[in-house]
Structure 1
Amino acid sequence: MAEAFLSPSWYRVAGRRLALKPHVAVHIHRYRGRIWYVLQDGASRRVHRLTPTAMTLLDRLDGRRTLDEVWSEVAGELEDLAPSQEQTIQILTQLHAADLLAGDEAPLIEELVERYDTQRRREQAKRGRNPLSISIPLFDPDRMLAAMARRLPPRSGIFALLLWLVVVLPAAVLAVLHWRELTRTTSDQLLSLQNLALIACIYPVVKALHELGHGLVAKRFGAAVHETGVMLLVFYPVPYVDASGSAAFGSKWRRAAVAAAGIAVELWLAGLALFLWLVIEPGTLRALAYNVMLICGASTLLVNGNPLLRFDGYYVFTDLMEVPNLGQRANRWWGELGERVVFGLRRLRADIATRREKVWFALYAPASYVYRLVLAFSIALFIASEYYVAGVLLAVWSLTQSVGKPLWTIASRIATNPRLTDRAMRVYATLGLGGGALCAALFLVPIPHRTSAQGVVWLPDHAQLRARAPGFVGAALAGLDNSVSRRQPLFQLADADLDGRIRLQKAKLREAMLRAEAERFGDQSKLVLQLREVEDERATLARYEERAGFRTVSAEAAGRFEVARFGDLPGRYVKEGETLGHVLPETTAFLRVVVTQDDIDLVRYRLVGVSVRLASELGRVIPAGIVREIPAAQDELPSPVLSLDGGGPFATEPREGGRLRTLQRIFQFDVEMAEPPRQARFGTRAYIRFEHDWEPLGLQAWRRVRQTFLALFHA
């Protein structure tokens, strides 16, 4: 419901004679077939968008007629579409604050000085509000850029686009093909002092070319570029160019081209750096090329080119989608929605947004907020892994800006909003009950608690044919893929050294028995010693013969006889415990499951139930239970299926050859399925869900945050 058409404050401004100042230029933009008017301030280079209704009112402010006369005339013409008095006051207040209106009274010198001081304080506060982005203007580059733009050939844009595609498209394909090599660098290498010094030298050069792209394209299309300087971005001094004059362009394609110019330059540089990185040997030059890729590629994809942050990608997106001021309007839409739903306030202004724009508002504001929060804390944690104090300070600042500042803004808006004065009890009750309900929901109400893991279908121990003694493999005693019965001999190992020891030991035993027989009627004390020697030799022979019996490898259970490399086994020497083959049962109920350090305590001490989904039958949930834990933490995966290369969740050390050594400690469990499917083959991936005691969401989140910090800081 819209507000009242008249305003009790109208008498304060009704008699003023106002007009736009001469340095204000008016441009027409079209968004989704609707006309918007853009006011460009030639002094401050700022732009302000107005609706046709508001522009109809401003266009008739000529400095001779009073505001009340103009508003009455517009209200009579537009009728229901006319702006209310309160809306008119708000529009004029915003334009007056931007110093775009001239009045019928000469401004006092004190007012001008105060306005100048206020504007200067705002600029200084804006620069100091974000320690990661502080702007320092240096000089006016307009004449320099104009001279460069005049030297460009007439169709230089088409040539530049073709050159960009020739470099960037092949580079994107090569980046995918060499992704593992590109992502092999660890945080300690990236954040080493030597590499940071190299980045400090590269970053300003890359950003200078980036800003030169903005300035040249803007100047080529006729925009004025009057400011360039240095911005302290993430503590690095980088150049910037103020190309905001392009916002007055009537063509959305030109506006988007200016915003995208810097992104295109960086991606082009990243492509060239990738080509160089692939063809040169390791060294300083290769490290330089890698850092250029990191700066131009990562910063473009994650920050500068991402529309969720208000950098170049945001302006490209809003211009092409024709949703002007998306970020501000989305925040305002959510704020007004909260006022209506929570506090029951009526809508302050007529809603001119289309249904499609409201969808963008509903999605963009929360997505942008969450992304900024995740990105800020990810950067802080990444830096803290090598530089603890700097990372913690950055995390505190991120928390203050991302959580503390929005909460303070909301609280201030509620406390200073005059429309909430007569609803104080409802406001306080709503805030109190809402905050209490939120805390209760987070920390008192238990919800299901689950953790997930992956594993593989695993054979039971009795299915593995292991050599119980060392020796050379003879011919197989059963055919491959044949069904075998329990205790059926499958391999016979040969050990000439053991055979020789047995023959020697038999000779020693016979010799000891003859000496004992010789002393039978002699010295009885010597006889006792000889009999003991006979027993020792007999025991030694028994051990050798027992080991000789181990040379026969038999099936411990019935099943199908399989060997991975059947033809390579005969004549091969195997060690004790080495696997020769398998006797596969018709079905197996066992899984080998890998659990991370973060979840091990929950699996050990707070387990309620286990369920399994096999990759071959994702639609079926199989109840299961843990039957055994492999003692102690390990760093080697049981199967390549669980590695990143195999589609699993665990990264492995690339320099370990054929070993599947993980970058983190892991724990392994044997899980038995209650109803094993007959189609489950050895090595099939399995998804395991562990059910734990119910726990409030806030406590679950706190445990994960605490584990993240402990792991990051090696505590």
Structure 2
Amino acid sequence: MNPNSVFDDSWYRVRGLKLNLLPSVELIRQSYGGEFWYVVCDKFGHRFFRIREATYKFICHLDVSNNVEEAWEKTLNENPAEAPGQGDVIKVLSQLYSNGLLKSQKSVDIKFLLAAKDKQKAQQRKQLFSSLLFLKIPLWNPDPFLRRTIHLFSWCFKPFGFLIWLLFFSIGISVLLGEWGRFSDAANSILSLSNLPYLYLSIILTKALHEFGHAYACRRYHCEVPQMGIMFLVFNPLPFVDVSASYGLSQKYKRVVVGIAGVVVEFFIASVALIIWANIADGAFARICYNIVITASVSTILFNLNPLLRFDGYHILCDLLETPNLQGRAQQLMKYWVEKYFFKLQAGPCPVETRGEAVGFTFYFISSWIYRFFLMMGILLFVSKKFLVVGAILAIVFAFMWVILPFIKGLKYLFFSPKLMNMRARSIILSFAAISALMAFLTLVPFPNYFRSDGIVKALPHQNVYASVTGRLAQIILPSGSMVSEGQVLA
């Protein structure tokens, strides 16, 4: 432990508190990267927090017979090198209390911890716009229904179920290769006005089944599924289900199964719909099947399964690599490097422990930003070709989320961060110089710019020539495209 991180000026406010966890709180051990972590699970509130083993030992010492300082001293005596510092203890207690997971013998003891709850509410108010873009409205508790019907789908989680899925998936791939020309031609009308009702119906259907896939997988491992409802993703209503209870599963493969279940369901639906589409005549049902194939395969690969976005693929990758909060840690590493090498600050401890982690986090951070940028531009261009107004609205939303908000956060950091107190002017000048250099590069340096388009080349002025009498063309002397002069015989 770093000696500078052991003590904290606010320790006197919490040292005498006698706190302990509520009976509804469960601590579950998990293994990540060879280290043991513990998940703090609130069975009733469905909240989950991941803590290190040393912090877990401190929490275990919290009871009515020990105050906070006594519990911390016991932890320090057991493992001086790994024990949490006083500042870390205050953060853990604040987080637990702000989420209603701690109880105290005296209500007056916990006034200091109320500040954490007020801070959390202030943070929620700051995130109001973001929450409006990703608003969730719970409508139903599906857990009783899942308990009654899980036996109907238990075979899906066995080798026989996987073989059935693999059979349909293989047939679907074969059909797609055989019908590729027809399939790709139909994609040209995917955003036509006549197809939009079919497209949206397909999205609702496939995403609902996707969420049920997660729900049944979660219930398969005896985890509660308390909520199902509608999520407004950039004002677009889509179904959602709360399977956060799977975070508490101790075995990695079970968490991966819950995470990938929705994608597996969508690929199965896409395969069945593709087989049906290829064997029926054009019509309303064929159009629905085609749109199901698109929404359950293409959109799933671009969004849900892609680990560069924070959807299913991201959580699956975190579990497979045993690296929790991959995106957050990658951002912390980038911030650490900027502060240390660009602003020349005395940065704190490095967020990574090995060179391999540093390379992996850097690669992930850069790749995710590049992918998000090109995905965003692709969506804007694709939508704008059909619906200019909708494309303009999306451009405003994306600009606010990707440009304006980060710029405001950057300004707040530059002008108000305590870390820059002694070199604020220098940091501001460096930042604006870097931004100016980037803008100059993008606006002044010429880039190759070309596009392909069909067209007709004709002379101006031009005139159509017609024969004044009836006749038959016997011979064409000059081929099309030849250069000619005035008076030359053409045919």
Is the 1:252–1:319 contact (alpha carbons within 8 Å) kept by the matching residues of 2? yes
1:92 aligned residue? 93
- Within-5 A mapping of 1:24-43: 24-43=25-44
- Distance in 2 (CA, whole Å) between partners of 1:170 and 1:252 is 31
2:467 aligned residue? none
- Within-5 A mapping of 1:448-463: none
Q: Judging changes above 3 Å, is the alpha-carbon distance between structure 1 residues 281 and 125 closer, same or farther for their aligned structure 2 residues?
A: farther
Q: Which shifted more, 317-326 or 55-64?
A: 55-64
AA partner of residue 341 (structure 1): Y
Q: What per-residue deviation string (whole Å, max 9, x for no partner) do you get for residues 451-508 of structure 1?
A: 7999xxxxxxxxxxxxxxxxxxxxxxxxxxxxxxxxxxxxxxxxxx99xxxxxxxxxx
2:284 aligned residue? 284
- Distance in 2 (CA, whole Å) between partners of 1:298 and 1:108 is 55
- Distance in 2 (CA, whole Å) between partners of 1:3 and 1:184 is 67
1:83 aligned residue? 84
Report the Cα offset of residue 206 of structure 1.
1.7
- Within-5 A mapping of 1:429-508: 429-443=429-443
- Distance in 2 (CA, whole Å) between partners of 1:419 and 1:15 is 31
Is the 1:304–1:313 contact (alpha carbons within 8 Å) kept by the matching residues of 2? yes
Q: Judging changes above 3 Å, is the alpha-carbon distance between structure 1 residues 193 and 126 closer, same or farther for their aligned structure 2 residues?
A: farther
Is the 1:329–1:361 contact (alpha carbons within 8 Å) kept by the matching residues of 2? yes
1:139 aligned residue? 140
1:458 aligned residue? none
AA partner of residue 38 (structure 2): Y
Higher strand share: 1
SS in 1 for 2:214: helix
Does 1:230 find its partner at 2:230? yes
- Distance in 1 (CA, whole Å) between partners of 2:394 and 2:285 is 31
- Within-5 A mapping of 1:683-702: none
- Within-5 A mapping of 1:572-587: 575-577=476-478
Is the 2:330–2:365 contact (alpha carbons within 8 Å) kept by the matching residues of 1? yes
SS in 2 for 1:194: coil
Q: TM-score, normalised by structure 1?
A: 0.59
Specify every segment of 5 or more residues in structure 1 that has no aligned partner in the other structure, as ranges. Answer: 455-496, 499-572, 580-628, 632-715
- Distance in 1 (CA, whole Å) between partners of 2:115 and 2:13 is 22
Is the 1:218–1:258 contact (alpha carbons within 8 Å) kept by the matching residues of 2? yes
- Distance in 2 (CA, whole Å) between partners of 1:113 and 1:7 is 18
Report the Cα offset of residue 431 of structure 1.
2.4
Is the 1:2–1:350 contact (alpha carbons within 8 Å) kept by the matching residues of 2? no
SS in 1 for 2:79: helix
- Distance in 2 (CA, whole Å) between partners of 1:175 and 1:405 is 42
Q: Judging changes above 3 Å, is the alpha-carbon distance between structure 1 residues 156 and 443 closer, same or farther for their aligned structure 2 residues?
A: closer
- Distance in 1 (CA, whole Å) between partners of 2:427 and 2:62 is 40
Q: Which shifted more, 348-357 or 9-18?
A: 348-357
AA partner of residue 106 (structure 2): E
- Distance in 2 (CA, whole Å) between partners of 1:102 and 1:436 is 53
AA partner of residue 576 (structure 1): I
Does 1:300 find its partner at 2:300? yes
Is the 2:61–2:74 contact (alpha carbons within 8 Å) kept by the matching residues of 1? no
Q: What per-residue deviation string (whole Å, max 9, x for no partner) do you get for residues 158-179 of structure 1?
A: 2221111011122123323433
Q: Judging changes above 3 Å, is the alpha-carbon distance between structure 1 residues 164 and 574 closer, same or farther for their aligned structure 2 residues?
A: farther
Report the Cα offset of residue 268 of structure 1.
0.6
Report the Cα offset of residue 154 of structure 1.
6.3
Does 1:372 find its partner at 2:372? yes
Q: Which shifted more, 94-103 or 48-57?
A: 94-103
2:176 aligned residue? 175
Q: Which shifted more, 306-315 or 427-436?
A: 427-436
- Distance in 2 (CA, whole Å) between partners of 1:89 and 1:72 is 14
- Distance in 1 (CA, whole Å) between partners of 2:24 and 2:190 is 50
- Distance in 2 (CA, whole Å) between partners of 1:96 and 1:413 is 28
Does 1:318 find its partner at 2:318? yes
Q: Judging changes above 3 Å, is the alpha-carbon distance between structure 1 residues 128 and 400 closer, same or farther for their aligned structure 2 residues?
A: closer
- Distance in 2 (CA, whole Å) between partners of 1:252 and 1:433 is 46
AA partner of residue 297 (structure 2): G
AA partner of residue 55 (structure 1): Y
- Within-5 A mapping of 1:532-611: 575-577=476-478
AA partner of residue 92 (structure 2): I
- Whichever of the two has the greater Rg, that structure is 1
SS in 2 for 1:385: helix
AA partner of residue 138 (structure 1): L
Is the 1:3–1:346 contact (alpha carbons within 8 Å) kept by the matching residues of 2? no
Is the 1:128–1:134 contact (alpha carbons within 8 Å) kept by the matching residues of 2? no
Report the Cα offset of residue 38 of structure 1.
1.0
- Distance in 2 (CA, whole Å) between partners of 1:266 and 1:185 is 20
Q: Judging changes above 3 Å, is the alpha-carbon distance between structure 1 residues 92 and 153 closer, same or farther for their aligned structure 2 residues?
A: closer
Is the 2:336–2:350 contact (alpha carbons within 8 Å) kept by the matching residues of 1? no
Q: What per-residue deviation string (whole Å, max 9, x for no partner) do you get for residues 403-453 of structure 1?
A: 222222233234443232233233334324433444455456x58x66799
Is the 1:306–1:314 contact (alpha carbons within 8 Å) kept by the matching residues of 2? yes
SS in 2 for 1:183: helix
Is the 1:381–1:395 contact (alpha carbons within 8 Å) kept by the matching residues of 2? no
Is the 2:98–2:113 contact (alpha carbons within 8 Å) kept by the matching residues of 1? no
- Distance in 1 (CA, whole Å) between partners of 2:238 and 2:343 is 45
AA partner of residue 477 (structure 2): E
- Distance in 1 (CA, whole Å) between partners of 2:307 and 2:257 is 15
- Distance in 1 (CA, whole Å) between partners of 2:176 and 2:393 is 34
- Within-5 A mapping of 1:315-354: 315-349=315-349, 351=351, 353-354=353-354
Is the 1:140–1:226 contact (alpha carbons within 8 Å) kept by the matching residues of 2? yes
Report the Cα offset of residue 234 of structure 1.
5.4
- Distance in 1 (CA, whole Å) between partners of 2:119 and 2:67 is 28
AA partner of residue 49 (structure 1): R
Is the 2:141–2:225 contact (alpha carbons within 8 Å) kept by the matching residues of 1? yes
- Distance in 2 (CA, whole Å) between partners of 1:193 and 1:125 is 38
How many correspondences in the alignment? 463
